[in-house]
Structure 1
Amino acid sequence: MSEPEDVSRGLPATSWAVLGMLTFGEELTGNDLKKWADWSVGFFYWSPSISQVYAELKKLEAIGFVESRVVSEPGVRGRRLYAITERGTDALRTWSRDAPVEVPVLKHGVMLRLWMGHLNDPERLKALVAAHIANVELQLRRAELHADHTDDEPAWSFPRMTLRWSVRYFRAEIELARELFDEIDNASAEFAKVADHDQFGSPLPISPGRWKNVEAHVHSLAQDNSDI
């Protein structure tokens, strides 16, 4: 007899995030799940659009991990409520326990702009960093508020733990960003030593392609470590 098909294979982490939000004993609408994500998961993983939430729910219902029902009230448009199934709970528990630990992918828009800081002037770069700090301070206050409002709910002890982690993360991000003000000045002073530029004003490195050698060295070290 052939093995049953593993329908969970290939599901993205966002699918598991939606399933996870349905494991707290409540039936939720798509809008509820969007708010739930913004309230908690959005601080450290995923702040979805409502269309993304419904796309995930449709996919999860099709494979039997989620079920739904429509609740109608007089004079009110019917609401579709979603709940996780036993099959979905089992699959989620297995993923949570056994999925490989992946390296977090950081997509930092401000750092990308600083990386190409030679196209800008130091004061403008500092203004970008200041705006970034203001944004993170807002996120910090929100995370603190959300964490504080979970203190009397034992069922949310693990979400509370991740919210507290988010608070520490945002504080660390603010400190790292503040260090950039002096580093921008240092980088600008070093950049002034560039001798040659192309016709567009971009800097010409002393050793073109040097980064390739560095990458080859890093790859070699990683290979050596994997053989140990």
Structure 2
Amino acid sequence: MADQRKSETDRTGVDDDEMRPSLPATSWAVLGLLSFGEELSGYDLKKWSDWSLRFFYWSPSFSQIYGELKRLERVGYVSSRMVAQETGSRDKRVYRMTDEGLAAVRTWAREAPVEPPVLKHGVMLRLWLGHLLEPEQMRDVLGRHREYAERMRRRAAADAEGSRDKEEWAYPALTLKWAERYYASERDLADAMLADIEQLASGGDGTARP
């Protein structure tokens, strides 16, 4: 074990534990938003996360964003400064990634373990309890879920189209394409489940239940 740690230190010049403090994935997500090379305010980060991250990972509140920024600044991955605004407006604090932050998020993106996604599907949880509901209630739940999935699919498709000509957003645009496909599959799954409910309500063999 000691030899392995020595090898890692020799390769990077820095002990891995010293180079990368233990941070939650949400910290890396916020740091990643700053990796596109811009100086951003907390408000900007909220807009950027709603434009991209929310489709596949996280839709943070302002308090969560500022909490992560404080954490990142404490470990030296982010620096901030106050920027004067027009007369009558409050000055704002903007954040920029440090060289240490760029190196750390690059290492995390390259070396973090590939973890399975955690699926918490509220609609399926309610369908699981379908024996406590009437078929019409489940049709309503699935119908509303279908509408949501289609709305998100269209939004992801529009955002992907809007970023198509921005070279620096090439990879975020790919995740938006993934989101478009994902929500299309959720829409189609809702349609399939509605058909399954119809079959179940008819007794499974086309004969209506009493």
Q: Which bracket does the TM-score occupy, shorter chain normalised? A: 0.7 to 0.9
Show the counterpart of 2:57. Answer: 45
2:44 pairs with 27, 32, 39, which one? 32
Inter-partner Cα distance in structure 1 for 2:173 and 2:58? 16
1:109 is aligned to 2:86: no
TM-score (norm 2): 0.85
Show the counterpart of 1:147. Answer: 160
Structure 2: tracts of 5 or more residues without a match = 1-13, 205-210
8 Å CA contact 1:7, 1:63 repeated in 2: no
1:54 is aligned to 2:63: no
Q: Which amino acid counterpart does residue 162 of structure 1 have in structure 2? A: T
TM-score (norm 1): 0.79
Inter-partner Cα distance in structure 2 for 1:125 and 1:7? 51
C-alpha distance 60-190 of structure 1, shift in aligned 2 (>3 A):
farther
1:84 is aligned to 2:117: no
The DSSP-based 3-state class of the residue aligned with 2:37 is: coil
Inter-partner Cα distance in structure 2 for 1:188 and 1:11? 49
Q: Which amino acid counterpart does residue 158 of structure 2 have in structure 1? A: L
Show the counterpart of 1:203. Answer: none
Show the counterpart of 2:5. Answer: none
Structure 1: tracts of 5 or more residues without a match = 192-228
Shift of the alpha carbon at 1:173?
1.0
8 Å CA contact 1:110, 1:128 repeated in 2: yes
Q: Which amino acid counterpart does residue 114 of structure 1 have in structure 2? A: L
The aligned length equals 190
2:75 pairs with 63, 78, 92, which one? 63
Shift of the alpha carbon at 1:162?
0.7
Inter-partner Cα distance in structure 2 for 1:31 and 1:99? 28
The DSSP-based 3-state class of the residue aligned with 2:84 is: strand
Show the counterpart of 1:199. Answer: none
Inter-partner Cα distance in structure 2 for 1:147 and 1:154? 12
Q: Which moved more, 1:11-20 or 1:182-191?
A: 182-191
Inter-partner Cα distance in structure 2 for 1:39 and 1:102? 24
Deviations 1:118-165 (A, max 9, x none): 111111101100000111111111111100101111111001111011
Inter-partner Cα distance in structure 2 for 1:190 and 1:89? 59
